[in-house]
């Protein structure tokens, strides 16, 4: 199998992981609601989204400070601990309490707690790519379901819109996500999904893909070992490859003066990579709207069977929109440029949701949740 075919297979695997996260979130929304996991008193309150965005900004600053002061172990402990905690939420609703342990007047589901602990230990002692990806699916589905039942459709739409704009600014403008990426990638934590192009690839042994240089400035796009640029909170994705057309005075995707003589060689260089990386948050954030659309859908909206779960039609079309945005994003990444992920992913998800909602007989006001404010 040539390098181009491997890149396409890896891209297909990323699409598959996104679908697993979305199907998992849809399967979890009901059990999470029954377990009392709804995190907001009023899921329809639009300010819920602004609180979450503020939390992201604060956490981004904290993570940058931890990297700057070289206490990486603290950041790794925080992220691995978060993974184990979210995993515990998932296992508690999926694993029957066949074995319980009394503690402080309550009975703990021992198997679920063991599962969450095992997830954290695996991420800490052996964060190979398949461990990262397996944990990412569990974490992504759990986090998206938690936010999906806690954010009504209007707060979810606001969240996706604001984060798409923030993502574009942080990648194309301030570039602080690239600084964050280079620091977090060294830690081998479940912030990115890693899909190798060959079975011999080892994430543990691979060199750290650095998105920025030591001074915090974005590296030159022609750097031979420039990595795929992926944000650490999942709000960006991209790749920065060697020998892009821009290095010869043209923009990516445009022919240069030497294109006829070396077009094939340029194509090969753009695909010269060991693995594809994409932020876990790029899977989680769009899925929040998918889960919200399924959970808060009016009773009049038709449902569709999706293998082991059923979902409202707007949730299904939102999934289709996410996939469409992801395919375009991966195509752009394979051309050899760094790109923010959420503008395409969230844009596709929102467009897909609105199309499905209107097709289900809802007005735009009903679909967007603004009817109470009119």
Q: At residue 117, does pLDDT exceed 80?
A: yes
Backbone angles phi, psi at 237, to 5 degrees: -155, 150
Backbone angles phi, psi at 36, to 5 degrees: 80, 30
pLDDT of 238 reads 41
For the chain, where are the alpha helices, taking DSSP H only?
3-34, 47-68, 72-94, 110-125, 129-150, 153-168, 176-185, 259-270, 280-295, 313-334, 342-359, 364-368
Percent of the chain with pLDDT over 70: 78
Q: Is 268 left (phi over 0), alpha (psi -120 to 50) or beta?
A: alpha
The full set of domain ranges for the chain reads 3-249+263-373
pLDDT, mean of residues 12-39? 94
Backbone angles phi, psi at 87, to 5 degrees: -60, -40
Contact 298, 310 (CB under 8 A): no
Distance (Å) of CA 151 to CA 33, 146, 164:
12, 9, 17
**Tokens (6 digits) for 196:** 């190798």
| CA–CA separation, 205 and 207 (whole Å) | 7
Q: How confident is the model at residue 15 (pLDDT cuts 50, 70, 90)?
A: very high
Q: Residue 206 burial (CB < 10 Å; 0-12/13-18/19+)?
A: middle
Compute the half-sphere exposure of residue 352: CA atoms within 13 Å on the CB side of its CA. Answer: 25
pLDDT of 309 reads 87
In terms of pLDDT, which residue wins out, 339 or 180?
339
- Among 195, 277, 190, 279, residue whose Cα is nearest residue 233: 279
Tell me the whole-structure pTM to 2 decimals.
0.82
- Among 22, 15, 29, residue whose Cα is nearest residue 90: 29
Q: At residue 93, does pLDDT exceed 80?
A: yes
- Among 338, 337, 70, residue whose Cα is nearest residue 214: 70
Q: How confident is the model at residue 296 (pLDDT cuts 50, 70, 90)?
A: very high
Q: At residue 337, does pLDDT exceed 80?
A: no
- Most confident listed range (90-94, 206-210, 272-276): 90-94
Q: How confident is the model at residue 178 (pLDDT cuts 50, 70, 90)?
A: low
pLDDT, mean of residues 220-243? 36
Q: At residue 181, does pLDDT exceed 90?
A: no
Q: At residue 123, does pLDDT exceed 70?
A: yes
pLDDT, mean of residues 209-216? 40
pLDDT of 149 reads 95
- Most confident listed range (15-29, 66-80, 181-195): 15-29
Q: At residue 49, does pLDDT exceed 60?
A: yes
Reported as a single tens digit per residue, the pLDDT across 313-327 is 999 999 999 999 999
């Amino acid at each position: 199998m040539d390098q181009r075919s491997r890149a396409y297979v890896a891209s297909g695997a990323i699409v598959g992981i996104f679908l697993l996260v979305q199907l998992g979130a849809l399967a979890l929304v009901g059990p999470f609601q029954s377990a009392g996991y709804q995190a907001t008193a009023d899921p329809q309150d639009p300010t819920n989204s602004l609180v979450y965005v503020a939390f992201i900004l604060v956490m981004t600053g904290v993570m940058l400070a931890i990297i700057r002061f070289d206490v990486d172990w603290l950041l790794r402990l925080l992220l691995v601990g978060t993974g184990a905690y979210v995993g515990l939420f998932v296992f508690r609703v999926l694993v029957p309490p066949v074995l319980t342990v009394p503690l402080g007047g309550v009975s703990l589901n021992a198997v679920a707690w063991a599962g969450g602990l095992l997830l954290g230990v695996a991420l800490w002692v052996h964060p190979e790519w398949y461990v990262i990806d397996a944990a990412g699916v569990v974490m992504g589905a759990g986090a998206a379901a938690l936010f999906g039942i806690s954010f009504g459709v209007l707060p979810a739409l606001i969240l996706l819109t604001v984060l798409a704009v923030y993502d574009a600014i942080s990648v194309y403008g301030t570039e602080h996500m690239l600084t964050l990426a280079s620091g977090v990638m060294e830690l081998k934590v479940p912030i990115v999904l890693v899909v190798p192009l060959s079975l011999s690839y080892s994430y543990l042994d691979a060199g750290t893909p650095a998105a920025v240089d030591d001074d915090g400035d974005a590296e030159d796009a022609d750097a031979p070992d420039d990595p795929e640029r992926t944000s650490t909170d999942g709000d960006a994705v991209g790749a920065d490859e060697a020998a892009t057309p821009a290095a010869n005075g043209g923009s990516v995707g445009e022919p240069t003066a030497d294109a006829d003589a070396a077009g094939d060689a340029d194509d090969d260089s753009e695909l010269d990579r060991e693995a594809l990386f994409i932020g876990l948050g790029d899977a989680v954030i769009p899925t929040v709207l998918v889960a919200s659309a399924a959970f808060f859908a009016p009773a009049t909206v038709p449902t569709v069977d999706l293998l082991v779960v059923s979902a409202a039609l707007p949730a299904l079309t939102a999934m289709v929109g996410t996939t469409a945005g992801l395919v375009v994003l991966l195509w752009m990444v394979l051309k050899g440029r760094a790109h923010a992920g959420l503008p395409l992913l969230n844009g596709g998800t929102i467009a897909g949701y609105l199309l499905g909602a209107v097709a289900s007989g809802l007005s735009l006001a009903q679909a967007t949740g603004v009817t109470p404010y009119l």
